[in-house]
Structure 1
Amino acid sequence: MAAGSISEDEFWDSVIYFLTLSDKLDRKWTVKEAKIEEEDSSTLQTDGKLEQIVLTYEFHIVYSQSYNVPVLYFNAHFQNGKLLSLEEIWDMVPAVYKERLTQDRWTFISQQEHPLLGRPFYFLHPCHTADLMRNIPALTDKRQYIIAWLSAVGPVVGLQLPLEYGQHP
């Protein structure tokens, strides 16, 4: 297995570790399993709200057997239920990531059918995840993979993990 990637068993170990912390810290994350024989068969999800614009985000973490890394799927909608367009999602990417978005628009954030739910979701493309995670030197415990990964990729789409997640051994 390539450096920076994880097996599905390691993914689940990391999910259990992450959920244990979530139970202690904020109780915002839950596991939902789908009984579908698909290539990507595991999901971790949360609901969150941005306070300034009153958007509701739904985040799912799905293990990709193709890339051997987690993939962040998400949707965002206004109070009236209208989903944000891909262009609106791209417009909301923080300025620090805009150059990368401009260079790699279609391999950065895109939209496709959710592998478990069968409906359109936005997602952060997993093709660079292993490279990203290989470059995180402090990641010696694979149980902390989800925390490190979410801390690195979540801010791109407005998902901020509380610092307390990274302060637990």
Structure 2
Amino acid sequence: MVQVVRHRPFQPRQRSRGPVRRRLRASPSDRPLVAAADRDVQHNRACTDLFTGLHLARRAILVPAPVVAEVGYLLGRAGGAKIEAAFLRSIVQETLTIVDLELADYERMAELVETYADFPLGTTDAAVVAVAERLGVSEIATLDRRHFHAVRPRHTGGFQLLP
């Protein structure tokens, strides 16, 4: 999700220890952050360019809190403690803006998980949708166009999917 706020310089992530031997499962909303952090994965360039462009345009990268834990775990597994720590420091340095969930978000997430059970959408992706609806955000950074294109948010006819 993106929204205009203030500018913080984008800092490219450290190189991972090498290609990931086994593919880690990531939710669609996690993949751009994971891809931008690891030069050895597909979509690294597109995701790095996306986040760099957002910063140059003075747009914030809003990350729902559940995404942080999932991305941290995936980065730690794929690239080790150094790359996971760099991700966490990007939050401290306000490169990423974390959005905490509210009680109403959990109810909406439950509705979304039930509505899109055939995907399945899952808790993390449902959090992305719920927070986007609450904040009126229509742009979502995802590499899974099929699922997020099918989701019908309450506040807009559909999401603009980035990159």
- TM-score interval w.r.t. the shorter chain? 0.3 to 0.5
Which structure is higher in helix share?
A: 2
How does the TM-score come out when normalised to structure 1? 0.33
Which structure is higher in strand share?
A: 1
How does the TM-score come out when normalised to structure 2? 0.34
